[in-house]
Chains A and B, each alone.
Chain A
Amino acid sequence: MTIRIKKRSTGKNLRTEVEKRAEVDLATCYQCKKCSIGCPVSGLVASPPAEIIRRLQLGAGDELLQTDLVWTCLSCETCYARCPNEINFAGIIDAMRAIALEKGVARPAGNSPLFNRRFLDTVKSYGRAYDLQMIVGYKLGTGKLMDDVEKFPTMLKKGKMAILPPSGADKSKVKRIFNAAKSKGKSR
């Protein structure tokens, strides 16, 4: 692998911030690469898991938040399960996602942040997820309105997609949680 680190980007803050949020100690990674070998998307991304860790160790800066694995990661937790040093790499990715969202630099292919917002919007409104509204909202946002439409009639017929919004949840409790949580589930 070739690792390029931007000149003058100390990266100290990114590594420190990631270590703090994910509660990991990156000094314990000895680059055995078990995480990368087990990762189902290693072959698809610019930098597989062990390389991301090496970059953080070497002092990469915020440019690393743009690396494609941040939003291509499937959260399958294979990296964490197989790491001999119990480094929670899936947690590192979640921390990088949160930092990227806060800094407004998350612009991945497929736009998972938009999907997550539309999902959480429905949770905030109904106390439970409402697939139909979430999917329409996401598709409107990405302009990929026609993807999967051929499946909808069958799904609706088979009852695989609720038409009406969910009811029965304690909505006020969910609102309280969203208001208290840092992100507040707001559209950014």
Chain B
Amino acid sequence: MKYAYYPGCASHSTARDMHESCLAVAKALGIDLQEIKGWTCCGASAAHQTDRILAAALPAANLLLAKEMNLDMVVNCAACYSRSKNTNYDVVNSPAVRKKVKNALGQDYDGSVAVRHFVEVLSHDLGPAKLKKAVKQPLNGLKVASYYGCYLLRPPEVTGFDNPENPTLLENLVEAIGGEALEWPGKVECCGGALNLTRTDITVARSAAIIEIAKAAGAECIVTACPMCQTSLDLRQLDMVKTTGKTYNMPVLYITQLIGLSLGIPPKELGINRLMVPPKAVLQALNL
């Protein structure tokens, strides 16, 4: 299992824990992630809110580098995954976009590089059964709410990640490492992350509603695969007390962090110490 790895800008800033835990888990499971040399920003939401060609050409630059490596491109940031998938979809379905992207890059991109989220690699290429065999420290029935958010799921014809209304990839991974994957109705809701700095009020309200739903379902922690969702649900908990009057203390981990703990990887190597809400319940369940 060898892939071209696109870390994305957040991997060196707000989502270092996402990046660290992804690399640690990949290493422990024998998944070879070759970082793309010279990779550049995918443009994130700022590009698609500004200009369609900018939004397609920025990810295409990285996809072309992956193409030279002759490997599928693995992305662990859900936002970068979404932008790269959208680029593939756009250049394949719109000759006008493909032409303009070619003009911007000085190189044609045909949309042929497969873009895979690391969760897809774990779910389909490795598989939950193999993951289960590698577990050293099962979660002892820890109650986990699996949260997907938007970027992985929608639009379904672009991402093709999972069933857009009732996805189960994360739940299957949680069960494989010995957790109890909760049935809860909040998993495909939007956290409001796109407006985290510009309309913080909306992000805080949306994210508080999601944490309420998880709490009502009995969750001891939430797992996500998106750095925007993680930031909204974790960092913005500090603001929720002002609007809801409640301190939730709900740990919000990357799925790769939870998997890493179950594989016996030391918390520090998974960036557990970087979480804003310390995951005490999780560490207790694992006797750590």
Query: Which A residues lie at the B interface, using CB under 8 A?
Result: 21, 23, 40-41, 44, 71-72, 74-78, 80-81, 86, 88, 90, 94-95, 97-98, 101, 109-113, 115-117, 119-120, 123, 127-129, 131-132, 135, 138, 147-148, 151, 154-155, 158-162, 166, 168-171, 173-174, 176-178, 180-183, 185
Tell me if B27 is interfacial: C-beta within 8 Å of chain A: no
User: Which B128-173 residues have C-beta < 8 A from chain A?
Assistant: 150, 153-157, 164
With A129-B41, A158-B273, A169-B41 already in contact, the answer to whether A81 and B195 are too (CB < 8 A) is no
Q: A115 to chain B: which residues have CB within 8 Å? A: 46, 197-198
- B interface residues (Cβ-Cβ under 8 A, vs A): 9-10, 12-14, 16, 38-41, 43-54, 57-58, 61, 94, 100, 103-106, 150, 153-157, 164, 189-190, 192-195, 197-200, 202, 206, 235, 238, 271, 273-276
In the complex, chain B residues whose CB is within 8 Å of the CB of A101:
50
How many angstroms between the C-alpha atoms of A74 and B273 in the bound complex? 30
Report the Cα distance A176→B58, complex, angstroms: 10
| Nearest CB on A from B189, distance (A) | 7
CB pair A75–B57 under 8 Å, yes or no, is no
Q: Is the CB of A81 within 8 A of B153?
A: yes
Q: A74-B192, A116-B46 are in contact. Are A80 and B154 (CB under 8 A)?
A: yes
Taking each of B45, B100, B197, B276, which has the highest tally of chain A beta carbons within 10 Å of its own beta carbon? B197
Chain A residues lying within 8 Å of B100, measured Cβ to Cβ, are 180
Residues of A within 8 A of B47 (CB): 116, 120
Interfacial chain B residues near A178, Cβ < 8 Å: 54
- B108 to A: closest C-beta gap in Å: 14
Asked if B58 and A177 sit within 8 Å, CB to CB, the answer is: yes
